[in-house]
Amino acid sequence: MDTKETIFSAPGKIILFGEHAVVYGYPAIVSAINLKTKCIIKESHLNEVQLSISSNYLLSKSSDSNMLNYIINHENREFEPKTKVSQRSVNPAYYFIVEKILNMTTSQKSPFIHIDSEIPPGIGLGSSAANAVAVIASLSSFMNINLSLAELNEFAFEAEKIIHGKPSGVDNTVSTYGGIQHYKQKKFTKLSVPDIDTHIVIVNSGIQRNTKHYIEKVADLMEENPEKYQNILEQIGKLTLNAKSSLLKGEVKELGNRMKQNHLLLNELGVGHPILDELVDSLDHYGSLGSKLTGAGGGGCIISLFE
């Protein structure tokens, strides 16, 4: 039995500009953050795939510890989940990842997968994408499957669709490739931002929300009143392009103002929350250059720019 551990980690993210509009083909500016998910895989002495999940973040109320088990029969290359679909507590995305990887290999190894995340879930910091990227990278490597970064990213996007319905792919892309990115319709470019003396503060409202719900909410509003909502998305798209140019030139005051405008447009889009507005106001009092909600909205986090 192999006693080595295979470990990969993947970062969470913040959307600086363009959330929701990015689902409709407009650009977004997004950055990886220094909170990560680590996936550690050891060989199990049982003929089983086992999964345990723990979260070591301090800010969330909930903490998960779940088991996902497959019995693997190495002789006839079959594997069978131990729990019926209706009784599963583990997110179906993990079943998808494990089954797809087991189907790609003839390896006789039985993995024990441990996911350890610092990223609070459900608050817009890209925890599900980071988890998917870290698990796919570790499990494929453990099973001696070579995946390019592009393949890893596409695989994680499939997992994201199981969780969020119709995501843009921005979360998995920034978690796979890192850095600060301009992202549009599954294509990204990394931005080299000048060394400006600013900080982005992330404030967690403590209100957990469901990304899928807010993606669907915007889709419903688009159906009800396409003219109004298309117009808001277009404005966010233009704002994002202007923000990109401010970012590349290091124009921090303009950047702050554009964050304020983006926040107002997200409110108009129907994904705001009164507590988020209160946070934006109080950050103003502390001298912020501009603040906005980040991610799907309805709660989650505020990002705020400080000199």
Asked if 131 is part of the footprint of ligand PMV (rule: CB under 6 A), the reply reads no
The residue whose Cβ lies closest to ligand PMV is 295
Alpha helix positions (H), 143-251: 149-164, 170-177, 211-224, 226-249
Asked if 120 is part of the footprint of ligand PMV (rule: CB under 6 A), the reply reads no
Asked if 20 is part of the footprint of ligand PMV (rule: CB under 6 A), the reply reads yes
Q: Which stretch binds ligand PMV (CB under 6 A): 36-44, 53-61, 162-170, 233-241?
A: 162-170
Q: Which two tokens stand for residue 116?
A: 């350890």
Q: Which stretch binds ligand PMV (CB under 6 A): 1-9, 18-26, 84-92, 149-157?
A: 18-26
List residues bridging with 13 in a β-sheet: 32
| In contact, 68 and 91? CB cutoff 8 Å | no
Q: Which two tokens stand for residue 2?
A: 């192999």
Q: Name the DSSP class of 116.
A: E
Asked if 276 is part of the footprint of ligand PMV (rule: CB under 6 A), the reply reads no
Question: Please, what is the minimum distance in Å from the beta carbon of residue 205 to ligand PMV?
Answer: 12
Asked if 295 is part of the footprint of ligand PMV (rule: CB under 6 A), the reply reads yes
Nearest to 19 by CA among 298, 257, 277, 236: 236
Q: Which stretch binds ligand PMV (CB under 6 A): 68-76, 112-120, 160-168, 246-254?
A: 160-168
195 is a catalytic site residue = no
Exactly one of 171, 195, 277, 281 is catalytic; name it. Answer: 171
Count of chain residues binding ligand PMV (CB under 6 A): 16
Q: Which of 51, 136, 170, 180 binds ligand PMV (CB under 6 A)?
A: 170
Q: Which two tokens stand for residue 54?
A: 């723990």
Residues 6+ apart with CB under 8 A from 255: 243, 246, 247, 289, 290, 305
Catalytic residue annotation = 171
